[in-house]
Chain A
Amino acid sequence: MNNFFIKKFFYGDIPEEKGGGSDYQTKHDSTSWPLWEVFIRSKQGLDHKHAGSLHAADAQMAIENARDVYTRRMEGVSIWVVESKYITASNPEEAGELYEPAADKIYRHPTFYQLPDEVNHM
């Protein structure tokens, strides 16, 4: 691996070795709140869309926090929350095998069919 040192930094990026610090230790939270994923419907008729995530003790609090964090400017009319641990995601490293079956089926697209101009609005 490259072992370089990134010297430049800017707003919100100050290298640790220049910063100092102390050995202060935050009292460990015996109970840290679980992580939730937030999905928001921005208006009636549209799908819920992933907006981000947040920590909350339970579902009710997750919805209330999502209201404060993600809809301060009327960005939503409905909120879904689900604990992040219940989401199963596909593995990017298996993307090749997973999506390959669709790659050679161009006949699934309407443009595959050449039709006479008379019916070109079909």
Chain B
Amino acid sequence: MPVQNFEELFQQKIDNEIKIEPKDWMPDAYRKTNIRQISQHAHSEIVGMLPEGNWISRAPSLKRKAILIAKVQDEAGHGLYLYSAAETLGMSRDEMINDLHSGKAKYSSIFNYPSLTWADMGAIGWLVDGAAILNQVMLCRTSYGPYARAMVRICKEESFHQRQGFETLLVLSRGTEEQKAMCQDAINRWWWPSLMMFGPRDSESTNSDQSMKWKIKRKTNDELRQNFIDMIAEQIKVLGMTLPDPALKWNEERKHYDFGEIDWNEFWNVVKGNGPCNKQRINARRKAHEDGQWVREAAMAYAEKKQSKTKAA
């Protein structure tokens, strides 16, 4: 069959909502796009453990500490689901890890911001995980089977993350003046970076959007961002706090909230490695990997030794 037919058949499957599975024929660009997207999503989960890991030893109570550990452990699990999904496309785990450590592969730029106070744990859960969930719910219906299945599993676990984040802020918002101020400060610092998580404006794209045609993604950046803003603008009323955007206003005609301009310079700067914590995050990952080298080797040596003993017996 000529390549053209394969491509037509492939597109027909996508149009008919038939998932693509690892051994199926797929265009090179589809494979590459998925590898890039899934592995970078995995890296985001893994690097995402760092800003929160920062507060495990300083959580204000044993209850909060247990919750935070569980949440960080979930992120590790999510990273693993996603790495396995990317591996089905033919890229090895070693290569993916190396690309993260060299800076070739990216992770969500939100994790290059520092977590300065305990209230940041609340703001990350509510805003950052909230924004991630909107993307992830959409990705449960993505066209590549292993990616979609990983996302279903992740979404089931993720809602606890957002709820615990909101509850953390709720407690602070009903606390002392100092706690209230801490809550508002965390929201102020995380609001704009959260909006940037959805990526550049749709108008930045000049080509026809192949990712939409292949149903890798199903909603545009702007659509998702607007959904997020509409949701958060209502929820913040419960906290009695404000969002740091004077232009934020309900638009009766559009039935959506209008909002102010995002600082795209800042966004690209952070993507390119000049955010407040880029170096720190990558160094932490490299160090963890290098320090774990002997453990990986020892475990393998032990496994081999055990196996040769069983054979000899």
Partner-B contacts on A (CB < 8 A): 1-2, 4-16, 18-33, 35, 52-55, 57-58, 61, 68-69, 72-73, 89, 91-93
Contacts and interface: CB of A to CB of B under 8 A. Distances in A.
Given A7-B207, A58-B306, A14 B40 contact: yes
A23 B103 CA distance: 8
19 contacts: A1-B29, A7-B206, A7-B207, A10-B135, A10-B199, A14-B40, A15-B36, A16-B105, A23-B102, A29-B293, A29-B296, A30-B297, A32-B93, A32-B94, A57-B296, A57-B300, A58-B307, A68-B77, A69-B77
B302 A24 contact: no
Most buried by B among A4, A11, A73: A11
A11 B193 CA distance: 12
A88 to B, nearest CB: 12
A10 B297 contact: no
B54 to A, nearest CB: 21
Contacts of A35: 87
A1 B301 CA distance: 45
A11 B296 contact: no
Contacts of B98: 25-26
Contact of A5 (B37, B207, B300): B207
A77 to B, nearest CB: 18
B210 A12 contact: no
B215 interface: no
A52 B299 CA distance: 22
A12 B41 contact: yes
Interface residues of B, number: 79
A116 to B, nearest CB: 39
Given A25-B98, A26-B98, A12 B77 contact: no
Contacts of A10: 135, 197-199, 217, 221, 224
A5 B27 CA distance: 14
Nearest to B225: A10
A79 to B, nearest CB: 15
B229 to A, nearest CB: 15
Contacts of B289: 26
B12 interface: no
A28 to B, nearest CB: 7
Nearest to A13: B37
Rank and list the top 9 A-B pairs by shortest CB-CB distance, nearest first: A12-B41, A21-B103, A58-B303, A14-B106, A31-B300, A57-B299, A10-B199, A21-B104, A13-B37
B207 A4 contact: yes
Interface in B30-46: 33, 36-38, 40-44
Q: Is the interface of B mostly helix, strand, loop or mixed?
A: helix
A31 B296 contact: yes
Interface string B40-71: 11111000000000000000000000000010
Contacts of A9: 37, 199-200
A31 B300 CA distance: 7
B36 A16 contact: yes
A20 B205 contact: no
Contacts of B19: none
Contacts of A31: 296-297, 300-301
Given A16-B104, A26-B98, 7 more contacts: A1-B28, A8-B204, A18-B272, A25-B102, A26-B102, A54-B80, A58-B299
B303 A61 contact: yes
B157 interface: yes
B273 interface: yes
Contacts of B44: 11-12
Given A8-B211, A8-B220, A26-B94, A92 B102 contact: no
